Amino acid sequence: MIFKKAGMTAVEEKSAIIILGASGDLARRKLIPALSVLREQNLITPDSIIVGEGRSEFTDEEFRDRFSTCCEFREQLFYHQGIDGLRDYISSKGEFSKIIAFLSLPPASYASTIKRLYNEGFRDEVNIVIEKPFGRDYESAHELNESIHRFYSEKQIFRSDHYLAKEAVQNILIFRFANSIFEASWNSNYIESIQINAFESIGVEERGGYFDHAGSIRDMVQNHLLQMLCLTTMDPPVSLDPEDIKNQKINILKAIEIEEVSRGRYSGYLDEKDVAPDSDTETWAEMKLKINNHRWAGTPVYIRTGKALDRKGTEIGLRFKKRPHALYNPPEGTAPNEIIFKVQPSEGIVLQLTGKNPGMDLQLARTDMAFCYSNSFNEDIPEAYQKLLLDALRGDHTLFVSAEETELAWKKLNGITNRGELTPYEKGSVPESVFGDIWINFENYVDIC
Ligand code: BG6
């Protein structure tokens, strides 16, 4: 179980890891390097095999040459052209107690590929990993889930959201539920607002074709931002069983109501490669939500995400309410406390406090208490795909998204995507907020950690 242990537990059985669409970018940039690290750390066995599948014709040697791998691990890589005959090919390599099939393919081919895997003879022994996007609205997500479930049980399906595998995101639950000092104030009596940022400095780059059909709301809010919000606000699960964690996230997704949305688009977006000249796609989204439950009624949630902004940074901030009586600094009182989860580029948790400036006079100053990964731990932070691949092999669903969660998240966004004006903003800048001066000054925390 991920949340119980430090480090990663090895998969001791001989496994076969199939990458469908192995000549693509994801296999080269993320999957093969992640598997190579898992092998190096003995987290998968030396007799496990990694089989790339694709339409192109490669010999094993040609396939191996595509990656900068060496030695033993290189010998564990194989290639098979096409899905036909793939089951027999795997059997010809030996008996494997674990098989995972990672679909590194265009989402439009998920349903047909899964059917083909089933017809090829992959049955209960296989776990299937699918990358987002799962559908583009509630109806298509529901249809996709139904067609998957015709062949495989939900237990065999691992919908990845790589944000859940980020160390600092996993730490949200530990921070909240392994420490007793926060829980009492983690509610609308004490928290004035919850704010989530996922800023990117890059534009759409080579992914204009995909992104132009999605936009920031579908691409980031439906999955990464809502998942982070669930972890930040859910009630404690009764156990660390993935099912119990999932149920608490579902309760939040059910309670969410989107109140306001504004969209923006960076200058020059229409000139990006593979973007439609009459595109109505947003590269920036800002939203106000509420959570209609006992704990959070009355605490607004603000989220914003975008591309081509002034910096890359993902943060979750909770701003506390001010003291009811302004003992210091009357009449306005001292600045509210803030807790910031720094997810990236550097990981940490910062608590903003007010203290006394040293000196004879009573002068107050804002100060921080910071827990920074870089100061506290020597271990390298594992890359998200290492964790996701290992967990799919172990059959652990904690960091994956269930059919119900993904459908609920889409349901909440129905009618919101592609709605409203697109406000232009300059590349490299952050659009002015439509909510005015409510935002935590996240820039203050950038250099801490
Ligand atoms: C992906 C989105 O899910 O997340 C991309 O499709 C986005 O558009 C990426 O760039 C951001 O991930 P990270 O880990 O770089 O924050």
358-382 pLDDT per residue, tens:
999 999 999 999 999 888 888 788 8
Are residues 84 and 113 in contact, defined by beta-carbon separation less than 8 angstroms?
no
CATH number of the domain encompassing residue 301: 3.30.360.10
The minimum-distance atom of ligand 1 relative to the CA of 224 is: 3
**Across 282-286, average pLDDT:** 98
Residue 17 has a CB neighbour count (10 Å cut-off) of 25
Would you state the structure tokens that stand for residue 331, as one six-digit string? 């009449």
Residue-level pLDDT at 331: 87
Percent of the chain with pLDDT over 70: 98
* pLDDT digit string, tens, across residues 40-99: 999 999 999 999 999 999 999 999 999 988 888 999 999 999 999 999 999 999 999 889
Residues 353, 237 share a domain: yes
Q: What are the contacts of 63-66 at 24+ separation with CB within 8 A?
A: 63/22, 66/23, 66/28
Q: Is the pLDDT of residue 193 over 50?
A: yes
| pLDDT tens-digit series, residues 167-184 | 999 999 999 999 999 999
The model's pLDDT over 16-47, given as tens digits with 9 standing for 90+, comes to 999 999 999 899 999 999 999 999 999 999 99
Q: Is the model's pTM score more than 0.85?
A: yes
Written as one letter, the residue type at 189 is N
Q: pLDDT tier at 12 (50, 70, 90 boundaries)? A: confident
Split at pLDDT 50, 70, 90, the class of 13 is confident
Catalytic residue among 224, 294, 325, 397: 224
Q: Is residue 1 situated within a structural domain?
A: no
Residue 120: how many other CB atoms lie within 10 Å: 18
Question: CA 236, CA 381: separation in Å to the nearest integer?
Answer: 26
Query: Which atom of ligand 1 is nearest to 202's Cα?
Result: 10
Residue where one domain finishes, among candidates 131, 152, 178: 131
Residue 21 marked ligand-binding:
yes
Q: Indicate the pLDDT class of residue 262, thresholds 50, 70 and 90.
A: very high
| Domain C-terminal end among 111, 131, 151 | 131
Share of residues in the chain with pLDDT > 90 (%): 88
Domain boundaries, position 75: 15-131
Among residues 80, 112, 131, the one where a domain terminates is: 131
Residues 161, 401: Cα–Cα separation, whole Å: 7
Q: Which atom of ligand 1 is nearest to the CA of 207?
A: 8
Q: How far is the CA of 57 from the centre of ligand 1 (A)?
A: 30
Return the residue matching tokens 């593979």. Answer: 274
Give 216-240 pLDDT, tens digit per residue: 999 999 999 999 999 999 999 999 9
In this structure, the answer to whether residues 170 and 309 fall within a common structural domain is yes
Burial of 71 (0-12, 13-18, 19+ CB in 10 A): exposed
Q: 50 in a domain, yes or no?
A: yes
Same domain (yes/no): 53, 184: no
Q: Which of 224, 275, 347, 388 to mutate to test the pocket of ligand 1 (most atoms within 8 A of CB)?
A: 224
pLDDT at 392: 95
- According to the model, what pLDDT value does residue 69 have? 82
pLDDT value at position 202?
A: 96
Q: Would you say 80 is a known binding-site residue?
A: no
Give the integer Cα–Cα distance in Å for 111 and 145.
Answer: 9
Residue 65 inside a domain? The answer is yes
**How many Å is the Cα radius of gyration of the chain?**
23
Distances (CA, A) of 113 to 105, 110, 117: 9, 5, 6
Whether the per-residue pLDDT at 4 is higher than 50: the answer is: no
Q: Name the packing angle between helices 403-413 and 138-149 (round to 10°).
A: 160
Cβ-based neighbour number of residue 198 at 10 Å: 24
Inside any domain, residue 395: no
Write down the mean pLDDT value for the chain. 94
Q: What is the mean pLDDT of residues 5-13?
A: 69
- Distances in Å between the alpha carbon of 431 and those of 113, 114, 281? 41, 42, 16
220 located within any domain: yes
Residues 126 and 176 in one domain: no
Q: Scan for tokens 């109806």, then name that residue.
A: 139
Give the 3-state secondary structure of residue 95.
coil
**For residue 274, is it left (φ>0), alpha (ψ between -120 and 50) or beta?**
left
Residues lining ligand 1, CB < 6 A? 132, 162, 200, 219
Q: Tell whether 367 and 309 lie within a shared domain.
A: yes
pLDDT at 70: 80
Indicate whether 427 and 283 sit together in one domain. Answer: yes
Nearest CA to ligand 1 atom 15: 200
Q: Does the annotation place 4 within a ligand binding site? A: no
Number of residues that this document lists for the chain: 449
Residue 362 Cα to ligand 1 middle (Å): 47
123 and 209 in a single domain? The answer is no
Domain containing 113 — which CATH number? 3.40.50.720
Measured by CA distance, the residue closest to atom 5 of ligand 1 is 219
In this prediction, residue 350 carries a pLDDT of: 96
Number of folded domains that form the chain: 2
Give 62's Cβ-side CA count (13 Å radius).
10
The mean per-residue pLDDT over the stretch 380-386 comes to 88
Report the alpha-carbon distance of residue 124 to residue 126 in Å, rounded: 6
Strands 77-81 and 301-306 come out as: unpaired
Which residues on adjacent β-strands are paired with residue 314? 198, 344
Q: Does 1 score more than 60 pLDDT?
A: no
Q: Is the pLDDT confidence value at 5 over 50?
A: no
Q: Phi/psi class of residue 124: alpha, beta or left (left: φ > 0; alpha: ψ in -120 to 50)?
A: alpha
Pairing of β 338-344 and β 348-356: antiparallel
Q: At what angle do helices 138-149 and 110-120 cross, to 10 degrees?
A: 0
What distance in Å separates the CA atoms of residue 337 and residue 366, rounded to the nearest whole number? 9
The residue type at 49: I
Q: What's 29's DSSP letter?
A: I
> Is the domain of 67 the same as that of 185?
no
> Are 287 and 176 members of one domain?
yes
d(CA 306, CA 211): 12
Instruction: Please check whether residues 168 and 126 belong to one and the same domain.
Output: no
26 is in an annotated binding site: yes
Q: Is 24 annotated as a binding residue?
A: yes
Is residue 159 included in any domain, yes or no? no
CA pair distance 418, 39, nearest whole angstrom: 44
Question: Is 393 contained in some domain?
Answer: no
Mutation test of ligand 1: which of 26, 160, 219, 387 has the most ligand atoms closer than 8 Å to its C-beta? 219
Name the β-bridge partners of 353: 367
Please indicate, yes or no, whether residues 184 and 67 belong to a single structural domain of this protein: no
Question: Helix, strand, or coil here: 280?
Answer: coil
410 phi, psi to nearest 5 deg: -65, -40
As given in the structure block, the two tokens for residue 123 are 């049955």
Q: Please check whether residue 118 lies inside any domain of the structure.
A: yes
Q: What does the pLDDT read at residue 96?
A: 94
**pLDDT score recorded for residue 7:** 58
Least confident of 5-9, 142-146, 290-294, 320-324: 5-9
Is residue 171 domain-shared with residue 281, that is, in the same domain?
yes
149 is catalytic: no
